[in-house]
Amino acid sequence: MVDQAWGGGAASLSGVRVADFSRVLAGPYATMMLADLGADVIKIESPEGDGTRQWSPPVNRAGQSTYFAAANRGKRSVVCDLRDPEGLARAREYAATADVVIENFKPGTMERFGLGYEEIAAVNPGVVYCSISGFGDGAGRELPGYDLLVQAVGGLMSVTGRPDADGGEPTKVGVALVDILTGLNAVIGIQAALLARGAPEHGGSGRGQHVKVTLLGSLLSALSNQASAALATGVSPGRLGNAHPSITPYETFETADQPIALAVGTDAQFARVCRILGVASAAEDPRFADNPSRVAHRAELRGLLLDRLRERPAAEWIDAFTAEQVPAGRVNTIAQAFELADVLGLGLVVETPALDPDGRECVVRSVATPISLSGTPVRATMPPPGLGEHQAARWLPRERPDLPPTVKEIP
């Protein structure tokens, strides 16, 4: 049942006001998600604009860098030159009346402009202030927070790529994954702080707090089982290409025409794989009878499976495995992955109306926020903004009466 006090279908964060001082990816990705969840996000940019506006080609139909567009849907853009007294005053006004302030400058930068957490909380005690940095605001405050650097020093590259014995080298992930993970952690922290603040009449404190998220912390947390293994044993895992350190067969395999991914997680699944491949006796071989044994004899098992898989094309094997509930699939391109999502009816592409560089109407396509809420729908209502497109922007009226008011309203 939809809570009618929320407007019978209003988005979860309707009425939450976000002053977004972030740029590039981690912060903008977080605020795009907040916008899709209903927050009113004002993107505060320098006269030069977010640097990713210039990261092109490629460009979308509106002539925008697709990198910029990937993280800035649903926001309004204003230009505030923090080096100019008038621009700084306006930026302070946004921060002083926001529910959420988010920034990812080098630690100490916002404080130099009088926009740090302590300064803003003094006039806006309800503010949830999120700071994103590469390595924290202590001993690592001077280190530059670039995704590639964090993938390297944070250990991700040490477990990504082919082993040295195969002529491999440490390899970065093909997308700025650490930035994305950090953005997601920022959203979690912001929403937790908003919940703790709540409304006084509903038991909330009415006070905000300082949320801090780091790229290095986000990566180490996301290393999950690999990090757990290193902490437990004192031995750092190495690179295994597409193989899994604790499960096998759980990797890609060549077939007669193209590679497939085979993700076998149980002994029962392995027995079905052996039967489908015509080597049913392998499931009873002491070297392969259980997962620890298979991991210990990974190379022999891989050779056995490859000999059979290379005999037939990928589509035939995938059909056979899927029919027996063995997880298997081809290695798709990104375009093919979107086709699959469309076939499955997942609705992972959103289209927003925009204007192209010649002023003609067009549609900007982007990846939808992959969250579905039955009572407070996720919405993508606006395309990525042009620089300063909403220079006269003021906060939208509140739609959520359960949210506490800010200290003052912008006239």
Q: What is the DSSP string of 298-360?
A: HHHHHHHHHHHHTTS-HHHHHHHHHHTT--EEE---HHHHHHHHHHTT---EEEEEEE-TTS-
Contacts of 138 (CB under 8 A, 6+ apart): none
The residue written with tokens 């499931």 in the block is: 283
Beta pairing class for 328-330 and 260-263: antiparallel
Distance CA 406, CA 403 (A): 9
* Cα diameter, the chain: 79
How many other C-beta atoms lie within 10 A of the C-beta of residue 367?
13
Q: What share of the chain is helix, strand, coil (3-state, %, to 5)?
A: 35, 15, 50
Contacts of 119 (CB under 8 A, 6+ apart): 111
Angstrom distances, CA of residue 148 to CA of 31, 106, 187, 245 = 22, 17, 22, 24
Residue at 79: amino acid letter:
V
- Note if 319 is an active site residue: no
Nearest to 258 by CA among 309, 295, 323: 309
Any idea of the CA torsion for 273, 279, 282, 288, to the nearest 10 degrees? -40
222: phi then psi, degrees, rounded to nearest 5: -75, -15
Angle at which helices 215-222 and 177-197 cross, to 10°: 100
Beta pairing class for 40-45 and 17-20: parallel
> What do you get for the CA distance between the two ends of the chain, in Å?
37
Nearest to 114 by CA among 98, 91, 133, 135: 91
Which one of the listed residues 40, 179, 319, 358 is annotated catalytic?
179
Beta pairing class for 260-263 and 210-214: unpaired
Distance CA 279, CA 307 (A): 11
Q: Mind telling me the catalytic residues?
A: 179
